[in-house]
Amino acid sequence: MKFDIMRDRLLDGLNDVMKAVSSKTTIPILTGIKIDVTNEGVTLTGSDADITIQTFIPVEENGDQLINISETGSIVLQARMFNEIVRKLPTNDVEIEVSNGLQTHIRSGKSEFHLIGSDASEYPLLPEVSTDRQFSIPADLLKSIIRETVFAVATSESRPVLTGVNWQIQGNELICVATDSHRLARRKTNLEHLPTDVSSVVIPGKSLNELNKILGESTDAVEIVITNQQVLFKTENVLFFSRLLEGNYPETSRLIPEEFKTDITINGKSLLQAIDRASLLAREDRNNVVRFETLEGNVIEISSNSPEIGKVEEQIQVESLEGEHLKISFSAKYMMEALKAIDGQDVVIQFTGAMRPFILRSVHDDAILQLILPVRTY
Amino acid sequence: MKFDIMRDRLLDGLNDVMKAVSSKTTIPILTGIKIDVTNEGVTLTGSDADITIQTFIPVEENGDQLINISETGSIVLQARMFNEIVRKLPTNDVEIEVSNGLQTHIRSGKSEFHLIGSDASEYPLLPEVSTDRQFSIPADLLKSIIRETVFAVATSESRPVLTGVNWQIQGNELICVATDSHRLARRKTNLEHLPTDVSSVVIPGKSLNELNKILGESTDAVEIVITNQQVLFKTENVLFFSRLLEGNYPETSRLIPEEFKTDITINGKSLLQAIDRASLLAREDRNNVVRFETLEGNVIEISSNSPEIGKVEEQIQVESLEGEHLKISFSAKYMMEALKAIDGQDVVIQFTGAMRPFILRSVHDDAILQLILPVRTY
């Protein structure tokens, strides 16, 4: 194996696949990155067994020669070390050569590194994914869908299936739901050409977070292939595989109330900032709880009280306030994350009394729904 | 006590004094910031007993009214909480009022915080510093002096006096020396009006690092007052006090060799980058040691070897190379820090054999001298 490559392109590729490499893996070869050189280009693969990321750098792109291949072949190099070396090389031309089996030479300018690689045949094979059940989402929309749901997954492993986001396909609608059983985020998206033979999978939250880092804010299509145990996200040069979570995702639609006693329309940003301030004084041992009360004259009050430190109160003018008087307490953290997911617009909040879950959504559409369970303090 | 203040100016002041406040203090009142309001303005004080920072915000500055004072007085408020609150207030106008002794009200827009303060009379008094022994250094020069020496102080407390930088005054020269007994940094600066009755003090490295963060890159004079136990740095609105370290600082001048066997002039940046690369493979259990060897034809070789991972070698063309052939090993970390202190210019390195300390300095002047002890590997 021997090739010359533009350092910057190699670094970009490494930057993607490094996101799958974990230093905590129990499988030694997965601390490495696999490099496969064919006459078409260089493929880099990184994996932590749950997530596998593969990126392809072509020999030529838009008329620019990126790689000059002298001999094809494969090698696995220690990921962190290889990445650091490439980052610090003195010139933009990098030559990588494998001789005598696993002896790898990395040359740039007058700098020469000699690393001992591992046998590429020991590296796990990619999951097999047939492309029958393929559909596509523009990258920027996929990023929004991830951002609006993934924060609500459970962080505790006590119910493993809740650490993932449930993707359901119903007709021409993709419904993504995450809940940690204290709050829930749901995002509905109308899409064309959805597969008809898959109805529900659970994608690990960690995988979606890593995928979000790799995707750019473009409208380029991301091809998605769902199988029984794996999901594959394909962009132009990157393949992102994630295992799916096993187990039945709970039926959540019946948790969402349909009748309400108090309806409020409020500027999401003002509310977010007021809750951020109130949370400063919310005692941490009470899970950062703030109070919310409706007052006369289209005004609500946010308050918080910590006997040892002090208290805070703040009034906000709302756009509209209908229904019963309400006094409710909830987690400032959950409320702030829900408001950030709805993102700055005017928000409708609908309550069914101080002890019942309440929902938040944008005034403009129902695509995003956030549900929060209150905390009993009164 | 009652006053209105521009939030941004209050934040700037807090930002300075917060650098002295430590959450690890054993003196409860020092977790707070003292606010003193007089008819002239507001003084903020923060301290961790070693460092004390005081900043003054005047009622009026350049014709702008910054503060409106209704009632003078003093209070101590929990530092982290007060800083967070001010940072998140909704408007740029902040009203702070103390009523019924320690009840403190912070108002901005429709937001109102109520904190319980502490009695300002319990806050430690500032060290007394008479201004007889005062001299001054422009802020940017003082920052350079700190940056070029403080990295070389000892991090271990086994010889506490070595955790500080030794400032000696000899005639019209300020000589700053730091050493951890494996390497040494010395900076000489010619200054006017140096005091004649102080000859040597040791300023904690930590204090100089915090001072460096507060000073701006301006040529404004910083007034310096040295007493037996304290040093005071004064800028226009900030007083920075630090205790001095007790104990005799070792005599270091005799450690610096005066005769050399190998003299090299080399581009500092090229050498720094080559050592950075070589250090990637330098085994951590050997304290990150790299090898340096002179070759024929004004070339040196930097190399490093880690039996389990691999090796690296790199040749660098030098400006000049005189004297004996040399093969020496040293800490990559010490070498990189020394080169950074000399900063990018052509560097002279003078050796007296593989087992003796060697020195680095700029080709342009002798103001900065760096000394490193080699490591025995051959």
Residue A120 has pLDDT above 60, yes or no: yes
Q: What is the pLDDT of residue A225?
A: 94
Question: Cβ contacts (< 8 Å) between A82 and chain B: which residues?
Answer: none
Question: Which chain A residues are within 8 Å of B89, Cβ to Cβ?
Answer: 277
In the 3-class helix/strand/coil scheme, how is chain A assigned residue by residue? CEEEEEHHHHHHHHHHHHHHCCCCCCCHHHHEEEEEECCCEEEEEEECCCEEEEEEEECEECCEECEEEEECEEEEEEHHHHHHHHHHCCCCEEEEEEECCCEEEEEECCEEEEEECECHHHCCCCCCCCCCCEEEEEHHHHHHHHHHHHHHCCCCCCCHHHHEEEEEEECCEEEEEEECCCEEEEEEEECCCCCCCCCEEEEEHHHHHHHHHHCCCCCCEEEEEECCCEEEEECCCEEEEEECCCCCCCCCHHHCCCCCCEEEEEEHHHHHHHHHHHHHCCCHHHCCEEEEEEECCCEEEEEEEECCCEEEEEEEECCEEEECCCEEEEEHHHHHHHHHHHCCCEEEEEECCCCCCEEEEECCCCCEEEEECCECCC
- Mutation for A interface: B277, B311, B315, B336, most A CBs within 10 A: B277
| Interfacial residues of A (vs B; Cβ cutoff 8 Å) | 78, 81, 84-85, 88-90, 104, 110-116, 273-274, 276-277, 280-281, 308-316
Residue B111's pLDDT band (cuts 50, 70, 90): very high
Find the residue in B nearest to A282 (Cα). B81
What percent of chain A is modeled with pLDDT above 90? 84
Q: CA–CA separation, B378 vs B370, rounded Å?
A: 24
ipTM (interface pTM) = 0.85
Mutual angle of helices A268-280 and A332-342, in 10-degree steps: 160
Which band of pLDDT confidence, cut at 50, 70 and 90, is reported for residue B377? confident
In this complex, the residue of B90, B276, B314 whose CB is nearest that of residue A110 is B314
Per-residue pLDDT, A116: 93
Summary mean pLDDT of chain A: 93
Asked if residue B198 has pLDDT above 80, the reply is: no
- Inter-chain CB proximity A281 and B78 less than 8 Å: no
Region for residue B52 given its phi and psi (left: phi exceeds 0; alpha: psi -120 to 50; beta: otherwise): beta
Contact A165, A208 (CB under 8 A): yes
Nearest-CA distance from A80 to chain B in Å? 10
Distance (Å) from the C-alpha of residue B202 to the closest C-alpha of chain A? 38
In chain A, the residue whose alpha carbon lies closest to the alpha carbon of B282 is A81
For residue A122, give the amino acid letter: E
CA–CA–CA angle B167, B171, B173 (5° rounding): 50
Taking residues A205-219, report their average pLDDT: 95
- Minimum-distance CB partner of B110 among A280, A308, A314: A314
Which has more confidence, A198 or A374?
A374
Q: How far is B23 from chain A (nearest CA, A)?
A: 16
Among A85, A309, A314, select the one facing B78 at the smallest CB separation. A309
**Token code pair at residue B112:** 């109102």
Q: Determine the pLDDT at residue B344.
A: 63
Please say whether the dihedral angle defined by the alpha carbons of residues B222, B225, B226 and B230, taken in this order, is positive or negative.
Answer: negative
Q: Which positions in chain A touch B85 (Cβ < 8 Å)?
A: 277, 280
B112 to chain A nearest CA, in Å? 6
**Average pLDDT in the B125-132 region?**
80
Tokens 């912070």: give the residue: B106
| Confidence tier at A344 by pLDDT (50, 70, 90) | low
**Most B CBs within 10 Å, among A267, A277, A305, to test the B interface:** A277
Cβ contact B90–A277 (<8 Å): yes
Residue A109 has pLDDT above 70, yes or no: yes
- Is the pLDDT score of A343 beyond 80? no
In this structure, how many other beta carbons lie within 10 angstroms of the beta carbon of residue B251? 7
Q: Which residues in chain A have their CB less than 8 angstroms from residue B110's CB? A: 314-316
Q: Identify which of B110, B115, B314 has the shortest CB distance to residue A112.
A: B314
Percent of chain B residues topping a pLDDT of 90: 84
- Residue A43: phi and psi, rounded to 5, are -110, 130
Confidence band of B285 (pLDDT split at 50, 70, 90):
low
Is a pLDDT exceeding 70 seen at residue A283?
Answer: no
Question: Which of the four pLDDT bands, split at 50, 70 and 90, describes residue B48?
Answer: very high
Q: Which residues of A345-356 are buried (b: 16+ CB within 10 A; e: fewer)?
A: ebbbbbbbebee
Residues of chain A found within 8 Å of residue B280, distances taken between Cβ atoms? 81, 84-85, 88, 113
* Residue in A115, A276, A310 closest to B116 by CB: A310
Q: Which chain A residues touch B107 with a CB distance below 8 Å?
A: none
Range with lowest mean pLDDT among A230-234, B193-197, B352-356: B193-197
Report d(CA A146, CA A106) in Å as an integer.
38
Query: Is residue A214 within 8 Å of residue A153, measured between CB atoms?
Result: no
Output the pLDDT for position B368: 95
Q: What is the pLDDT of residue A316?
A: 96
- The backbone torsions φ and ψ at residue B157, rounded to the nearest 5 degrees and listed phi first, read -90, 10
User: How sure is the predictor about B289, in pLDDT bands with cuts at 50, 70 and 90?
Assistant: very high
Confidence grade of residue B282 (pLDDT, cut at 50, 70, 90) = confident
- List the one residue out of A229, A257, A253 whose CA is nearest residue A241: A229
Q: What is the pLDDT of residue B40?
A: 96
What number of C-beta contacts closer than 8 Å exist between A and B?
80
Neighbouring-strand partners of residue A108: A111
Nearest beta carbon to residue A314 from set B111, B313, B316: B111
Which chain A residues touch B112 with a CB distance below 8 Å?
312-314
The answer to whether residue A46 scores a pLDDT higher than 80 is yes
Q: Quick one: average pLDDT of B306-334? A: 93
Q: Is the pLDDT of residue A188 over 70?
A: yes
Q: Residue A24: is its pLDDT beyond 70?
A: yes
The C-alpha of A325 sits at a distance from chain B's nearest C-alpha, in angstroms, of 21
Average pLDDT over residues B96-100: 95
- Choose the closest CB to A81 out of B104, B309, B311: B309
Task: Calculate the alpha carbon distances from A89 to A40, A208, B50 in Å.
Answer: 25, 32, 44
Neighbours of A357 (CB within 10 A): 18
**Which two tokens mark A105?**
């030479």
Inter-chain residue contact B308 with A115, CB threshold 8 Å: no
Contact residues of B toward A, CB < 8 A = 78, 81, 84-85, 88-90, 104, 110-116, 273-274, 276-277, 280-281, 308-316
Task: Tell me B154's DSSP state.
Answer: -
Q: Among the listed ranges A323-327, A371-375, B60-64, B131-135, which one has the minimum average pLDDT value? A: B131-135
Phi, psi at B62, each rounded to 5°: 50, 40
Pick the residue from chain B with its C-alpha nearest to A104.
Answer: B310
Q: Which residue has the tokens 């609150």?
A: B85
Question: In this structure, what token pair is assigned to residue A320?
Answer: 């509209």
Confidence (pLDDT) at B286: 60
Q: For B4-44, what is each residue's pLDDT tens digit? A: 999 999 999 999 999 999 988 889 999 999 999 999 999 99
Structure tokens at A206: 């960690």
Residue B347 has pLDDT above 70, yes or no: yes
pLDDT at position A378 = 56
Q: B44 CA to chain A: closest CA distance, Å?
A: 20
- Partner-chain contact B308 A88, CB within 8 Å: no
Locate tokens 């350092």: which residue?
A: A7
Find, among A298, A295, A303, A291, the residue nearest to A267 by Cα: A298
Check CB contact under 8 Å for B111 and A277.
yes
% chain B with pLDDT above 70: 98
Chain B residues within 8 A of A281 when measuring between CB atoms: 81, 113
How close B315 gets to chain A, by Cα (Å)?
A: 6
Is it the case that residue A302 has pLDDT exceeding 60?
A: yes
Tokens standing for residue B37: 């309001």
**DSSP class of B257:** -
Domains and CATH numbers, chain B: 2-122 (3.10.150.10), 134-253 (3.10.150.10), 256-372 (3.70.10.10)
